[in-house]
Amino acid sequence: MSTPETACETVAVAKPDGLSRIGLIVPSSNTTMETELPELFRRQSEATGHRYTFHSARAGMKNVNKEELLAMVAKAADCASSVSDADVDTIAYACLVAVMAQGANAHVDSEAAIARAAQENGHPAAVTSSAGALVRTLQEMGARKVAMVTPYMKPLTQMVREYIEGAGIEVLEAVSLEVPDNLAVGRLDPQNLPEIARNLQREGADAIVLSACVQMPSLPAVQAVENELGLPVITAATATAYEILKSLGHTPAISNAGSLLSGELSKLPARVE
């Protein structure tokens, strides 16, 4: 049996009635991914007429520490099997730091394991992860230097920084908001992000990662920060949405969520080295 391919290698076939089903694997305490992604795809539907539904499986995780994150990883394959029962077209593993806690380039093995579980369950699907999506999207954008904001404690932020830098992207500054409780992360006010972004060390930056966490709300601030600072702004959630669209073969047409999802970045000329 061949090994299932990841979202960047496989194009899933949309349902014949103009409907795509999106599977999510999220931490049990996540309250943001199931609000921001449906809102993004609602805007995509407004622009294109295509419809999207979301179907979630939850893996236990309350506190954002390495022990609970690694325990969550062990549950990913079971979650993939259960969510694939909904005959989803694509699956997104929506916990960035759980994957990055496993070490450099861990998203490759995580995505392959999830794809394998779905295939063995009889419902193969394209697969992405928020960790892989963030790294690959930055690479596709040609971003060599970034500044980022995380809600994590400083040791976890440093781990995320090293993971991104291991992919060849320099992190000029990584701000830690130091919120260990995952429910509390979901209650952070995204309206505070513009001021935080203004104070980032961003000289020479090619992009800003406004939220390196799918649980930290950021969608209401993405376009405002991009407009103010004149740099592309992405988040773990918008990068994941971008890769979901790619896996479905759909062109991004999402308004008010940054140039990545509006489709504007794809119209820019290739950067000359």
In sequence order, the β-bridge partners of residue 53 are: 21
Show the CA angle centred on residue 190, arms to residues 107 and 171, nearest 5°.
45
Burial label, 51 (beta-carbon count in 10 A; 0-12, 13-18, 19+): middle
Which residue in 213, 222, 245, 265 is the catalytic one? 213
Question: Do the annotations mark residue 64 as ligand-binding?
Answer: no
CA distance 123 to 265: 33
CA distance 27 to 214: 10
**First-residue to last-residue Cα distance in the chain:** 41
Radius of gyration of the chain (CA): 17
Is residue 213 part of the annotated active site? The answer reads yes
In whole angstroms, how far apart are CA 240 and each of 1, 143, 198, 213, 266? 28, 17, 24, 11, 16
Residue 54 backbone class (left: φ over 0; alpha: ψ -120 to 50; beta: rest): beta
Question: Do the annotations mark residue 182 as ligand-binding?
Answer: yes
Question: Do the annotations mark residue 102 as ligand-binding?
Answer: no
Closest by CA position to 76, among listed 7, 6, 26, 121: 26
Residue 177 backbone class (left: φ over 0; alpha: ψ -120 to 50; beta: rest): alpha
State the amino acid at position 264 in one-letter form.
E
Question: Do the annotations mark residue 63 as ligand-binding?
Answer: no
Question: Do the annotations mark residue 8 as ligand-binding?
Answer: no
Which residue in 95, 106, 174, 209 is the catalytic one? 95
Is residue 79 part of the annotated active site? The answer reads no
Question: Do the annotations mark residue 175 as ligand-binding?
Answer: no
Residues marked active site are found at 95, 213
Binding site: what residues are annotated? 30, 95-97, 152, 182, 214-215
Binding site for substrate: what residues are annotated? 30, 95-97, 152, 182, 214-215
